[in-house]
A and B are shown apart, each in its own frame.
Chain A
Amino acid sequence: MLSLLTRALPRPRPMRKLDERLGFASAGRTILAKVFPDHWSFMLGEIALYSFVFLVLSGIYLALFFEPSTAMVTYHGHYAPMRGEQVSAAYASTVRLSWDVRGGLLVRQAHHWAAHLFIASIVLHLCRIYLTGAFRRPRELNWTIGLTMLLLAIFNAFAGYSLPDDLLSGTGLRIFNAIALSIPVVGSWLGFLVFDGEFPGQEIIQRLYIAHVLLVPALLAILISAHLAMVIRQKHTHFPGPGRRDSNVVGSRAWPTYGLRSLSLLTAVFAAVLLAGGLLQINPVWAWGDFDPTTITAPSVADWYILWIEGALRLFPPVEFHVFGLEVPNQFWPGVVLPGLIFGMLYLWPWLDRRWTGDSEAHHLTGRPRESPLRVGLASAMLVFMAVLLVAGAQELIVQWTGWTVESVRNVLRVLVFVLPLAAAFMGRWVAESLRRSDLDHAVELGAKDMRAGLRRAKRSQAQ
């Protein structure tokens, strides 16, 4: 009876044979027993990882149909309004991909939605790392790798949506060109280097294509590997709790609980982007028309991850001056200096935080956001600042709704872009202080009494 049972059990013969050659079993056992923290916020980075996996898979499929060329061709396909028209091969192949390749529209739209999810989950992951102080020693290096991946993700999303050579994305490329030109001393050479001459040049689609499908994804793959290798080496941070120390990790094992949960997340990401790709239209390039550098769509609103730069370009006053006889163009400040300052500050944050808090110890047990009201305040200010810039990037919609003039909406936003972040900094700090003083779990549970107590605390620490 017993022997019958053991014989019925599946024997992993192929695995044994592989182990005879590689001897991986003891290392494999360690990996299977690796402990991962259970809190949901640790899954945000994984959503980004799985979005990347989907982007690569769907991107390979799209690349089989897309033609990265600005050569003019005649469109013959199912989309009747365009039939017989002379358009660029890039635009024609994108429309063909959407209307004539069976399943092509699903993959194209899912790819675009996955790009949104990729960047959004990186941003949320960054917020988690920032607010819990997980960027501190010994994870400063991984923080900078993560930021670099965010920059690459934004660039690649921009490059990707510029590829179809449609009227909306062409306008985006033109602004990108103007920002490149604005850099002092090297601007015109840089612009000519990227575009092969004066805008639009002949080469930009081919160059963006290589960057989009090879250069940036390869860099991202390398950085993701380094990012994960460091997480495995240093192990995850975890929140305080019974039995939790800097010197351990408490949670579930890689196999089976965590592994199944993570696989579930992978499939959930695929489900989300494929459902969106099927049911929610995104970037219908045939409706924008092909790129004609002498015309423009109105309104022209970019995707959110670069729309904040658009907003800054709109709000910045019309100042321009010369330094040593060289022009510093207007678009240099909102287009180069502002993103440079924001990302420069983020890159330096682990060291700035160390200086301001005087804390240079290694931390594996992270705090809850409330434990650093300063960080909560700064993060609130930053997010609200970006939000006002996003609104400015879409201000024609406000003009439509309110019926105010373009100029009055702009002037209101010019005030709000300074006032609201200050208010948000104060509010964030106040809420964090109130939570810290109370024993409440969530900010929504805060009552007037808790808030009053938090206010006293905030005032006192400001006075110090």
Chain B
Amino acid sequence: MSSPPRAPGSVVLCFMLSALGAAGFAASYVLGLSNEALGACIGGAFAFLALGLARWSSVISAAEPQYVEERSVGPTPQPEYDAFRQALTEQPVPRSWVLWGSLGTAVAAIGGAALFPLRSLLPAMGTDPDAVLSRTPWKAGLRLVTEAGLPIRATDLDLGGVLTAFPEGLEPREHVDTTTLLIRLDPSVLDLPDGRRDWVVDGVVAYSKLCTHAGCPVGLYADTARQLLCPCHHSIFDVATGATPVAGPAPHPLPQLPLGTDSSGYLVARGDFSGPVGPGWGNH
């Protein structure tokens, strides 16, 4: 080694600027300055530190040769390896299948037993996911209400109007699968599947708001084309023909909710949706 290189002024300057940035950060914090000021100061402090260190490193490396280090990776020589094997399998450890087998059984049993508490992560015993996914709390006679909980008449919707509705008395956020989209159409354009003619009240049709592809709320309605669009993966459904998918990845129509009115003229469900709502699942 020759004499060490002297400290370059540029490096010292960088370090000083770095300290200044840190002080600026502390001052900005105390004064309650903007997020931009905080970020610029502390980011600048680190940037000057980085610059100084990089400069320092390059000053040193310019004076240094390329170093060479030998690499000694490879298999251990056979005798040494054999000695290792022998130490591993030496006398005090008997080669008994019964002994090793019973140890293996104990370890596997403990591992298996440790899986049981994971069951507690699932909903309570007796809950069948497939049954839960297959139906919603909608039932005959249950009123449709707005998010604010107000009952709805068909005439509350203008022609081409859309409204998100929920079952009366249930917390919407806890029963997401009940989320329903009401759309009022001119009854003459409706071309619903057989048996659903009387599921409509004054041109108001009700569909599940959850996309049959990945379960996103089908939030965009274009009345000119009478189409619903899901913003997630751009599936498009034709509202007049039973929300059949006309484009995009959704494979099924949006399930329809049979509508009726109660004695006061408010909209009620006449049963559950025409099929499971939301995305399909694997053991369905």
Residues of A198-228 contacting chain B, CB below 8 A: 198-200, 203, 207
Instruction: Tell me the chain A residues, 434-462 only, with Cβ under 8 Å from chain B.
Output: none
**Range class of the B interface residue count:** 35 or more
Any chain B CB within 8 A of the CB of A128?
no
B236–A318 touching, CB < 8 Å: no
Interface residue stretch chosen among A19-27, A287-295, A352-360, A415-423:
A287-295
Chain A residues within an 8 Å CB radius of B53: 260-261, 263-264, 267
A361 adjacent to chain B (CB < 8 Å): no
Inter-chain contact B172/A296, CB cutoff 8 Å: no
Please state if B61 and A103 are interface contacts (CB–CB under 8 Å).
Answer: no
The yes or no answer to B257 lying at the interface (CB within 8 A) is no
Number of interface residues of A (CB under 8 A): 102
Which residue of A is nearest B118, CB measured? A193
Q: A274 and B42 in contact (CB under 8 A), knowing A187-B282, A294-B179, A329-B279?
A: yes
Q: Roughly how many angstroms separate A318 CA and B47 CA in the complex, as a whole number?
A: 51
Q: Is A59 an interface residue (CB 8 A)?
A: no
A177 touches B129 (CB 8 A): no
- Is B130 an interface residue, CB under 8 A from the partner? yes
The answer to whether A271 and B50 have CB atoms under 8 Å apart is: yes
| Complex: chain B residue closest to A336, CB-CB | B282
Q: Complex: how many Å from CA A314 to CA B229?
A: 13
Whether the pair B173, A293 counts as a contact (CB closer than 8 A) is yes
Contacts of A233 in B (CB 8 A): 73
Q: Which of A193, A272, A300 contacts B231 (CB 8 A)?
A: A300
Complex CA distance for A266 and B233, rounded to whole angstroms: 40
* C-alpha spacing A78/B249, complex, angstroms: 43
Q: Report the Cα distance A271→B44, complex, angstroms.
A: 6
Residues of B within 8 A of A34 (CB): 69
Contact of A410 with B217 at beta-carbon distance under 8 Å, contacts A106-B39, A270-B46 already known: no
Q: Which residue of A lies closest to B52 (CB)?
A: A264
Judge whether A103 and B29 touch: CB under 8 Å: yes
B57 touches A296 (CB 8 A): no
Chain B residues lying within 8 Å of A33, measured Cβ to Cβ, are 67, 69
Which one of A192, A234, A292 lies within 8 Å of B73 (CB-CB)? A234
Q: Which of B53, B216, B281 has the most CB of A within 10 A?
A: B281
CB distance from B70 to the nearest CB of A (A): 5
Q: How far is the CA of A186 from the CA of B216 in the complex (A)?
A: 22
Q: When the two chains form their complex, are residues B215 and A199 in contact, meaning their CB atoms are under 8 A apart?
A: yes
Within 8 A of A (CB), among B27-76: 29, 32, 35-40, 42-47, 49-54, 56-57, 60-61, 64, 66-71, 73-74
B226 contacts partner chain A, Cβ-Cβ < 8 Å: no
Q: Which residues of A contact B (CB under 8 A)?
A: 33-35, 38, 102-103, 105-106, 109-110, 138, 171, 174-175, 177-179, 181-189, 191-193, 196-200, 203, 207, 233-235, 243, 246-253, 256-258, 260-261, 263-268, 270-272, 274-279, 292-300, 310, 313-320, 326-332, 334-335, 362, 364, 395-396, 406-407, 410
15 A-B interface contacts by CB (under 8 A): A177-B215, A178-B278, A192-B129, A233-B73, A248-B68, A252-B61, A268-B50, A271-B43, A296-B217, A318-B248, A329-B280, A364-B71, A406-B229, A406-B247, A410-B247
List 3 A-B pairs, minimum CB-CB distance, nearest first: A278-B39, A187-B282, A275-B43
